[in-house]
Amino acid sequence: MKIRESYKCFTSLSILVLSALVISLITNTNVTAKINDTTIVERYGQLRVEGNKIVNHDGNPVALQGMSLSWSQWEAAPYYNYDCVKWLRDDWKCTVVRASMGIAKSKGGYLANKDRELSKIVKVIDACIDLGIYVIVDWHDHNAHEHESEAIEFFKEIATIYGDSPNIIYEIFNEPLLNVSWPNVIKPYAETVIEEIRSIDTNNIIIVGTPTWSQDVDKASNDPLSFSNIAYALHFYAATHKDFLRRKAEIALNNGIALFVSEFGTTEASGTGVIDYTESEKWFSFMDENNLSWCNWSIVDKDETSAALKSGASATGNWSSSDLTASGTFVRDKIISYSEIITSVEDQLNNIYVPKNFFLNQNYPNPFNPTTKISYGIPAFAGITNNRVVIKVYDVIGNEIATLVNELKPPGNYEIDFNADKLTSGIYYYTLSTGNFRETKKMILLK
């Protein structure tokens, strides 16, 4: 099967242009305008996984925010087009779009209509590459392990055509069902498919589904894959999945794996029922604190609460507020709130976004011996250009062990190294204090 040739964003010419841009940022006073003229892929470049974080080409933690298109073979089919993707980038400020290719033969998916469904995915990939945003190529299948050979054929074809583009993110198993085992089924499937992708594309991130509709990330973290640049899918619906699932996510992150929220809803797990704004806000705070990328479900005009669009909304974007559902309005506002970029020269050269809130991340690795990394973020406030930041380490009885940071810091994302080579094994605590914000986390030194 022949896929039409895609646009290629990162040619040698593109690299030269980016180099020229960096030089011009140092010499030109109109810094903000120049940064805002670049695309998110030009700013972040080739993404990779380091520890439990997704980072940009400079090694800075980043998080993408965007929308998932609904099942390709059903009501969402008309939205798989260039103009829709462009509207999501320009109006919604999405930095990632997820193309959810339905697979099941009985439901009219890829296994029944290969050329038709593939052509929809290609349209979205080409649009995202041309528009300079990231794209998740999703094998939207609850039984992917039963269609391993077809998945391999599909992903090898995508990798052959698009594997040299930094825009591409592969998602190889959407949501394994309740009783599908990680060690016996999902992991062996993932190992086989990843081997085939990596034989062609050695760099781009691959998202792997986890048990129980991509909720049991803790189980995957206890027996992770041995490949590089792997993230694990965490899916939630705010009105159904609450603190218990965030605790699973915390366990997984503490065990050192990277998570990607490739699908979530503001509603009940059925996609219907009420919008739970309180739990949605808790999830947004959790994702912010842990630099998790996310895509909301979904761009479709289906009559269900989780749909972003009302019935009859144009397939090519240009939606007014009256075209959006309550969930669509809520999520669009959230995505837009992430789109403001720091205007200082230093942070723009580092290609990082201003955090919305103060945060202190769990150290990585944890447990550690003898060094570990601690990352934190400082938001921007009107009229405040620097914040006094203090990070100290304490033992279990409250004795101060070390001061890691005590200085004025501009808004941004930061990471420091802590070396405990002179300390004994045990539990320690580290605290970030700045203004009225204070947060403490526990770390374990094992020698």
Indicate which residues carry an active-site annotation: 175, 263
Q: Which of 263, 348, 294, 364 is nearest to 94 (CA)?
A: 294
Burial class (CB within 10 angstroms; exposed 0-12, middle 13-18, buried 19+) of 63: buried
Give the amino acid at 415.
E
Residue with tokens 């894959």: 225
CB contact at 8 A, 374 and 415 = yes
Cβ count near 398 (within 10 Å):
7
Q: How far is CA 442 from CA 222, 245, 272, 393, 414, in A?
A: 20, 20, 39, 10, 19
Rg of the chain over Cα atoms, rounded to whole angstroms, equals: 22
Hey, how many other C-beta atoms are within 10 angstroms of the C-beta on 409?
A: 15
**What whole-number distance in Å separates Cα of residue 310 and Cα of residue 230?**
36
Cβ(100)–Cβ(298) below 8 Å: yes
DSSP run (H or E) holding 48: strand 48-50
What is the total residue count of the chain?
Answer: 447
Residue whose token pair is 């979205």:
124
The rounded distance, in Å, linking the Cα atoms of 417 and 401 is: 15
**How far is it, in rounded angstroms, from Cα 156 to Cα 197?**
6
Measuring CA to CA, how many Å separate 371 from each of 61, 71, 340, 396, 399? 19, 45, 34, 19, 20
DSSP classification of residue 9: S
Strand partners, 433: 390, 438
Please give the span between the terminal C-alpha atoms of the chain, in angstroms, as a whole number.
55
Task: Report how far residue 426's alpha carbon sits from residue 399's, in angstroms, rounded to the nearest whole number.
Answer: 14
